[in-house]
């Protein structure tokens, strides 16, 4: 009887929550267990976007390139089904070829994908495809479906407001990981391709760019694809010859009289992506250093990081990685030197602030530690940064603030090493 009562209660709950959401692209009503409004969609994307950018290496430090990518993206977005959204476009400093779209119009493309393309029309095809995911609300559809597994309620809890670093660690961090790990279905990929081509046509781009882009992907797939392609674009965006043929078919049948070649010449694209080519060798060395470090070859990694910096001395990510490697070696003087250089060159990346905060805390320079750790947490809320800031507040004789931060770590990592250590610190503060 109890099981039967629970069953009917569950059906009643489903009936209460289930409704219809209008697809902005098709205009059709779609069944949704939990409706997500446009404002909630924007908040979902906004809260996750900065976290995603920081987790992937921060924004690539080239303002002209950033403005160029944004210009191409905005041109497409104005011709989309949802031009009223405030779209955001960024270049992520990550070698893995990839692009992603978060709900509400938050879109990014990696350095690793940009260096594998040849012209602006191909870039427009990537951005148009990602805009298509946004306009068709593909991420939102997946969140609505995931409510059937009891997860969406928890994810939407991330909208409740940021009451402190702890709430960001526990809510937005999980939300970001969930959104970025979503694998689009075959149907969603075809729909995003079709929408991207439509937006390219409305923006007067050469549609062959969409075919060329898929041809690049298929060639990578046929050659076996490097680990970067497999772990990046191909993991979340299924690639097949069917998509290449479908793009050709869409252009032939839906745009038979369309003959624009805008963006197919690579001159403009090469001019704006020149810095990517100039730093390509340095980042290849950087990727090698990261692999060496992951394999426990710290001395070899440090040597490789130095080589990368010689090739590109003004890249904050490279300086930060070297400083953190020295910190893991417990060689504090060079660690501090390179982390300070990283902050001076590119202060909008969380990692060097985190490393400097640890160094200042270790030296009992508590005010300097607090400044750096708060800067790190403002950029990316991490358990490590929150724990270190709690230690710093203890050193500043601010037990109430320290207790609040330790509690956040304990709640977010109750079974982990930091969470257990935070519980010990809380007991000590209560004595």
Residue 102 and residue 213 share a domain: yes
* pLDDT tier at 36, thresholds 50, 70, 90: confident
Q: Nearest to residue 237, comparing CAs of 224, 221, 252?
A: 221
User: Which residues have CB under 8 Å from 141's CB, separation 6+?
Assistant: 30, 188
Residue 174 and residue 298 share a domain: no
pLDDT, tens digit, for every residue of 236-286? 555 667 888 999 999 999 999 999 999 999 999 999 999 999 999 999 999
Which one is predicted more confidently, 423 or 230? 423
Q: Is residue 6 part of a domain?
A: no
Q: Nearest to residue 144, comparing CAs of 155, 159, 129?
A: 155
The answer to whether residues 120 and 128 touch, using CB atoms and an 8 Å cutoff, is no
pLDDT at 153 over 90: no
Structurally, the chain folds into a number of domains equal to 2
pLDDT, tens digit, for every residue of 327-386? 999 999 999 999 999 999 999 999 999 999 999 999 999 999 999 999 999 999 899 999
Residue 356 and residue 238 share a domain: no
The answer to whether residues 317 and 57 touch, using CB atoms and an 8 Å cutoff, is yes
| Number of residues assigned to the chain | 431
The answer to whether residues 387 and 411 touch, using CB atoms and an 8 Å cutoff, is no
In this prediction, residues 165-188 reach a mean pLDDT of 64
Expressed as residue numbers, the domain containing 411 is 278-430
Rounded Cα distance, 415 and 401, in Å: 23
Q: Is residue 27 part of a domain?
A: no
Cβ neighbours, 10 Å, residue 162 = 14
The answer to whether residues 130 and 107 touch, using CB atoms and an 8 Å cutoff, is yes
**What are the residues facing 89 on neighbouring strands?**
107
Domain end point (choices 254, 287, 310):
254
The answer to whether residues 170 and 411 touch, using CB atoms and an 8 Å cutoff, is yes
SS3 175: helix
CA distances to 52, 251, 290 from 102, rounded to whole Å, are: 10, 27, 28
- Run of H or E residues at 21: strand 19-22
What is the pLDDT at residue 431? Answer: 77
| Sign for the pseudo-dihedral over CA of 67, 45, 47, 174 | negative
Q: Is residue 270 part of a domain?
A: no
Residue 420 and residue 309 share a domain: yes
What is the pLDDT at residue 161? Answer: 46
Rounded Cα distance, 406 and 396, in Å: 15
Q: Is residue 12 part of a domain?
A: no
The answer to whether residues 48 and 175 touch, using CB atoms and an 8 Å cutoff, is yes
Q: Is residue 161 part of a domain?
A: yes
pLDDT at 26 over 80: no
* pLDDT tier at 34, thresholds 50, 70, 90: low
The answer to whether residues 164 and 402 touch, using CB atoms and an 8 Å cutoff, is no
* pLDDT tier at 184, thresholds 50, 70, 90: confident
Q: Is residue 162 part of a domain?
A: yes
What is the pLDDT at residue 264? Answer: 97
Q: Is residue 272 part of a domain?
A: no
Residue 340 and residue 238 share a domain: no
pLDDT, tens digit, for every residue of 209-223? 999 999 988 887 776
The answer to whether residues 188 and 136 touch, using CB atoms and an 8 Å cutoff, is yes
pTM exceeding 0.85? yes
């Amino acid at each position: 009887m109890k099981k039967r009562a629970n069953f009917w209660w569950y059906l009643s709950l489903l009936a209460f929550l289930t409704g219809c959401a209008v697809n902005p692209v098709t205009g059709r009503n779609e069944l949704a267990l939990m409706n997500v409004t446009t404002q909630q969609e924007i908040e979902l994307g906004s809260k996750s976007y900065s976290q995603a950018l920081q987790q992937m290496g921060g924004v690539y430090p080239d303002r002209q390139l950033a403005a160029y990518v944004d210009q191409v993206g905005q041109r497409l977005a104005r011709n989309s089904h949802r031009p009223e959204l405030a779209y955001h476009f960024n270049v992520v400093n990550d070698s893995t070829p990839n692009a992603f779209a978060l709900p509400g119009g938050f879109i990014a493309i990696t350095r690793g994908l940009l260096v594998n393309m040849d012209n602006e029309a191909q870039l427009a095809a990537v951005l148009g495809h990602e805009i298509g995911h946004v306009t068709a609300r593909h991420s939102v559809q997946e969140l609505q479906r995931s409510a059937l597994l009891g997860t969406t309620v928890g994810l939407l809890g991330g909208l409740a407001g940021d009451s402190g670093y702890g709430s960001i660690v526990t809510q937005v961090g999980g939300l970001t990981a969930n959104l970025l790990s979503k694998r689009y279905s075959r149907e969603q990929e075809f729909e995003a391709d079709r929408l991207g081509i439509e937006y390219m046509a409305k923006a007067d781009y050469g549609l062959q760019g969409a075919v060329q882009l898929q041809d690049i992907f298929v060639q990578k797939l046929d050659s076996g694809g490097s680990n970067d392609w497999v772990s990046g674009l191909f993991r979340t965006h299924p690639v097949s010859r069917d998509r290449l043929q479908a793009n050709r078919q869409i252009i032939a049948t839906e745009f038979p009289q369309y003959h624009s070649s805008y963006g197919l010449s690579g001159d403009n694209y090469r001019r704006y992506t020149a810095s990517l080519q100039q730093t390509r060798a340095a980042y290849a060395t950087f990727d090698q250093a990261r692999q060496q470090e992951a394999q426990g070859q710290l001395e070899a990694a440090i040597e490789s990081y130095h080589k990368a910096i010689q090739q590109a001395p003004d890249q904050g990510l490279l300086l930060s990685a070297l400083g953190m490697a020295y910190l893991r070696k417990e060689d504090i003087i060079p660690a501090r030197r390179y982390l300070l250089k990283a902050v001076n060159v590119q202060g909008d990346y969380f990692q060097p602030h985190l490393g400097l905060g640890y160094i200042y805390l270790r030296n009992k320079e508590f005010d300097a530690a607090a400044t750096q750790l708060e800067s790190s947490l403002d950029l990316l809320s991490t358990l490590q940064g929150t724990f270190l800031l709690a230690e710093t507040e203890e050193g500043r004789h601010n037990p109430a603030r320290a207790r609040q931060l330790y509690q956040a770590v304990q709640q977010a990592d109750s079974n982990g090493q930091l969470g257990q250590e935070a519980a010990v610190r809380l007991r000590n503060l209560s004595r």
